[in-house]
Amino acid sequence: MAQAIDLSPKKQPQQARARASVEAMLDACTRLLVDEGYEAVSTNRVAEVAGVSIGSLYEYFPHKQSLVAAALARAMREVMDEVGRSLRTALALPHQPHDGIDHWMRGMIAALEQRENLLRVALREVPFFWSIPEVREFSRTLQKFGKEGQYKSQRVIHFEDPEASTYLLMNMTWAAVLQTVLHRPAHLSRERLTRTLVDMVLKLL
């Protein structure tokens, strides 16, 4: 099992030139993850693709894991931002609750779809993915979003155990969205799954 490693970067770039180099490294790492999977990511190749030398890479990242973690953390922050934005516009919609749920689901699906291959690799191949702070935070934020949505739309799930049901609802929904994007069977279109998912969530509220 993946044991705890320090995933933090080594030192921060000070000048613009160096910041560009680090960005290039992260871009290259992301590209390799997407195109060839985690096993194919070697520090030498990342440096090559980024157009910097291997020595420069180790200026800013103490080891391979911290590089991959930084690339994934950046992506997760982007996803989280988009999901948060789509929640806020969903809550501002006049025709609650169907339209709100619908908008939010589509927002989440769109956010994932843009990074489909990266997320697939991250979730299925990167051993320390769940140790990345941004990923842990993502789960927490998702829970917060769930409560926020219920609160603002004046709807609460009425089960014996509200805390457990909110938790499960969010996780099931998230899993279904992930499934829809990453693992959808050919005979079920994204549209059909989205519509049905919205119906199911409404039924649970």
- Tell me how crowded residue 136 is: count the other CB atoms within 10 A of its CB: 12
User: If binding is defined by CB under 7 A, does position 126 make contact with DNA?
Assistant: no
Instruction: Quickly count helices (H) and strands (E) in the chain.
Output: 9, 0
Residue in the block written with tokens 């929640």 = 87
Cα–Cα distance, 38 to 27 (Å, whole number): 14
Q: Which residues bind a second copy (CB under 8 A)?
A: 1-2, 34-39, 117, 120-121, 123-127, 129-130, 159-161, 163-165, 167-169, 171-173, 175-176, 179, 183, 185, 188, 192-193, 195-197, 199-200, 203-204
55 binds, among DNA, a second copy, none (CB under 5 to 8 A by kind): DNA
Instruction: Please name the amino acid found at residue 14.
Output: Q
Q: By CB under 7 A, which span of 18-26, 95-103, 144-152, 174-182 interacts with DNA?
A: 18-26
Residues 30-59 that bind DNA (CB under 7 A): 40-45, 52-56, 58-59
User: If binding is defined by CB under 7 A, does position 17 make contact with DNA?
Assistant: yes
Q: Where are the beta strands (DSSP E) in the chain?
A: none
